[in-house]
A = this chain, B = another copy of it.
Amino acid sequence: MRVVVALACLLAACLAQKPHPCKSPPLMTGALTMSTQNEKLWLYAKYLYDALGQRIRLFEFGTMNNKTFTYDILLLYNQHVIYQIFHKNKTCIISPLEGDFVPFAIPDEANLLGQAIVGSSSGPGQGLLVNTWIGDLPNKEGKYMSTVTEFGCIPVSLAYQAKEYGWAVLSYFNNVIGITDPSLLNPPSFCPGADTLTGSDKKPVGFFSLFHQDN
């Protein structure tokens, strides 16, 4: 009985704690969908995320302007390099990578919109305690709204204003802590090394500019 009371108090104490900005686990594997308000872009992706090595692998499929696409990309932020990988014919396109690595986290300057239970707190396995934060994008380019779990700071959803796309909404799911296959965070052996880019005048590629390419 004492244990039950102690656990109830602990739970109440946890629930009663004011949410704080948090960092997501540095190693995660999972999936996400992304859709935009203007319906130009929709995608589903499986992801591997390594904040320690600043590496992200994405296996994507989706539609851009009513054309379907699939992408297998590896972003190596510490080398400022992006690989597009084509397993079918064992080729790669290597390009300089635009922008810096941004880890999954709630920035310190974010404002708490509220804490909520997704689902219900009335039964076991029926609910999930989440915190929703809002703030300004870097360079004040718009607003964002980010929801993470109270326990574990696992990303749930991210909505942000993406210029020509209107609001873009990312939903994360099937996340596990850890990397299910670390080899997927290195370029395949048939890809050229990052040093082959030295002295090249290739245009840096960002996340969105990828979808405007013709390949």
Contacts and interface: CB of A to CB of B under 8 A. Distances in A.
A130 B174 CA distance: 10
**Which DSSP category, helix, strand, loop or mixed, fits chain A's interface?**
strand
Report the copy number of this chain in the oligomer: 2
Interface in A124-172: 124-130, 149-152, 154, 156
A28 B28 CA distance: 35
Interface size class on chain A is: 20 to 34
A154 to B, nearest CB: 4
Contact of A152 (B116, B123, B154, B173): B123
Interface string A169-201: 000011111100000000000000000000000
A118 interface: yes
A176 B122 contact: yes
Contact of A117 (B119, B173, B177): B173
A91 interface: no
A37 interface: yes
Contacts of A121: 174-176
Nearest to A148: B119
A128 B151 CA distance: 12
Given A127-B154, A128-B127, A128-B128, A149 B37 contact: no
Contacts of A178: 122
Contact of A149 (B28, B120, B151): B120
Contacts of A176: 120-122
B124 A151 contact: yes
Nearest to A176: B122
Interface of A: 28, 30-31, 37, 116-130, 149-152, 154, 156, 173-178
Q: Please list the 5 inter-chain residue pairs (A to B) with the smallest Cβ-Cβ separation, ordered nearest first.
A: A128-B128, A122-B177, A116-B173, A126-B152, A125-B151
Given A28-B120, A31-B116, A122-B176, 18 more contacts: A37-B37, A116-B173, A117-B175, A118-B118, A118-B128, A118-B173, A119-B149, A119-B152, A120-B149, A120-B152, A120-B175, A120-B177, A123-B151, A123-B152, A125-B129, A126-B152, A126-B154, A127-B128
